[in-house]
């Protein structure tokens, strides 16, 4: 009975399993957030119970812990986070939790509290307080809303997010704006979810999608699928337009000390580039572990490029045994989100600088002769590397090894 004091309704019971289930939801949300830091572009926490109605001092609306706010808090030390709540019901929890903060922007599009749960908040004039003033945006809509009307609201919300320039986006994905949802009054179709996804994907932000409401079981799967298909299309559009402009990456920091989780992150990064086979991926991870275990004695040195908590790229090099001052450059890998933006060149220049400081006079780098490595070869040639030798059929029949060299003196 006492729990009623903290609960905003009568349909969010605390029974023997409530904590266990709610805790599992949080775990999934945090895992999804970690996947983003590990280099994924999008991670989806498909969870029950949902979380967006859970506030600092109260819970309700089937929500116990605020999964999306917890994920946002987890990402916060690495950069600004925007939460967009597209559930039919107001994201009162996120609003309450971040109301006085300016490092997390909360945006919610929902049925007007005049007629929709949670009734007591979600009004336009709730804009944040103190430092957080202007960092909460409520877009309450009327009882009947179709796809067109919804997209107008979404455009306003996304514009605010672009203006905020976050490093991470969290989407509170409610599927209850769907036509026929028993808890809602709107009429969004599967096509509309596709278009909403496109608009959100076109932001080009690393994204954690957290499942919130959605109760019309006949269309849930279809609508979710359409939404994610849209996100993928939007993200592709964004990537194409970005390649056309090739803006430089800002805010990258370089370091040479490795930490334990770099093994996992390097593996992830090398995999995501889609450029290396499974054995090469294993080797990439192994080299990190070698360095972690034996430090410089391993013969492998690293330069890691971090961008707001994510590994954007790295270089690995080391002295060639039995030579006086020759070095091998083993890897330069750049995450697809950062390719074509000058990061590979920056890693190369930094590796050369460190090799020179250590007394190195020559750098060697091997690449395959296959067509798909043409851009890699061009990259080295453009940076002053000269083709030294070609070993025919080295990797496989018809796939030779091209060795490039640059003299540092
Ligand atoms: Zn809802």
**Model confidence over 282-299: pLDDT tens digits?**
999 999 999 999 998 999
- Indicate the average pLDDT of the chain: 94
In the reported structure, the alpha carbon of residue 63 is separated from the centroid of ligand 1 by a whole-number distance in angstroms of: 10
Q: Measure 175 CA to ligand 1 centroid, in angstroms.
A: 8
Cα 81 to Cα 38, 46, 114: the distances in Å are 16, 20, 29
Report whether pLDDT(255) > 80.
yes
What does the pLDDT look like over 179-191, one tens digit per residue? Answer: 999 999 999 999 9
Q: Does 339 have pLDDT greater than 90?
A: no
Q: What is the mean pLDDT of residues 250-267?
A: 93
Give CA separation, 197 vs 111, 137, 142, 217, 354, in Å: 20, 20, 22, 20, 45
What is the Å distance from ligand 1's center to 227 Cα? 16
Catalytic residue among 53, 89, 90, 307: 53
Question: What are the backbone angles phi and psi of residue 234, rounded to the nearest 5°?
Answer: -60, -40
Kindly report, residue by residue over 322-335, the tens digit of the pLDDT.
999 999 999 999 99
Across the range 256-283, mean pLDDT stands at 92
Structural contact between residues 315 and 350, judged by C-beta atoms closer than 8 angstroms? yes
What residues have a C-beta under 5 A from ligand 1, the ion?
87-89, 174, 176, 213
pTM as predicted: 0.86
Grade residue 3 by pLDDT with cuts at 50, 70 and 90: confident
CA distances from 158 to 132, 152, 249, 283, 292 (A): 18, 10, 22, 41, 42
Ligand 1 centroid, distance to 213 Cα (angstroms): 4
Tell me, yes or no, if 335 is annotated catalytic: no
């Amino acid at each position: 009975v006492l729990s009623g004091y903290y609960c905003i309704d009568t349909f969010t019971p605390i029974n023997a399993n409530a904590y266990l289930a709610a805790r599992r939801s949080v775990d999934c949300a945090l895992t999804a957030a970690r996947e983003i830091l590990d280099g994924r572009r999008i991670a989806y926490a498909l969870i029950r119970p949902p979380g967006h109605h859970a506030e600092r001092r109260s819970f309700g609306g089937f929500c116990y812990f605020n999964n999306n706010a917890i994920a946002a808090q987890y990402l916060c030390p690495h950069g600004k986070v925007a939460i967009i709540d597209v559930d039919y019901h107001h994201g009162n929890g996120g609003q309450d939790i971040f109301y006085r903060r300016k490092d997390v922007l909360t945006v919610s599009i929902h049925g007007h509290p005049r007629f929709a749960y949670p009734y007591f908040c979600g009004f336009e004039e709730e804009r944040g307080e103190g430092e957080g003033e202007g960092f909460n945006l409520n877009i309450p809509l009327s009882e009947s809303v179709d796809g067109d009307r919804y997209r107008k609201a979404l455009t306003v919300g996304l514009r605010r997010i672009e203006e905020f320039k976050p490093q991470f986006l969290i989407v509170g994905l409610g599927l209850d704006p769907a036509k026929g949802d028993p808890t809602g009054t709107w009429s969004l179709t599967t096509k509309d979810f596709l278009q909403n996804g496109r608009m959100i994907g076109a932001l080009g932000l690393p994204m954690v999608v957290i499942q919130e409401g959605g109760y019309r079981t006949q269309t849930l799967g279809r609508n979710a699928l359409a939404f994610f298909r849209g996100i993928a299309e939007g993200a592709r559009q964004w990537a194409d337009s970005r390649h056309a402009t090739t803006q430089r990456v800002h805010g990258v920091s370089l370091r040479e000390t490795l930490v334990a989780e770099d093994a996992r992150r390097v593996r992830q990064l090398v995999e995501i580039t889609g450029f290396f086979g499974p054995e090469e991926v294993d080797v990439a991870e192994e080299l990190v572990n070698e360095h972690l275990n034996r430090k410089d004695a391993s013969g492998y040195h690293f330069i890691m490029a971090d961008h707001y908590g994510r590994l954007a790229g790295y270089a690995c090099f080391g002295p060639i045994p039995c030579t006086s001052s020759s070095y091998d450059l083993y890897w330069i890998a750049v995450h697809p989100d950062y390719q074509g933006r000058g990061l590979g060149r920056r890693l190369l220049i930094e590796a050369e600088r460190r090799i020179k400081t250590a007394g190195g006079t020559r750098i060697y780098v091997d690449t395959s002769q296959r067509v798909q490595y043409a851009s890699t070869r061009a990259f080295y040639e453009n940076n002053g590397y000269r083709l030294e030798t070609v070993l025919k059929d080295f990797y496989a029949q018809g796939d030779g090894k091209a060795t490039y060299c640059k003299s540092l003196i």
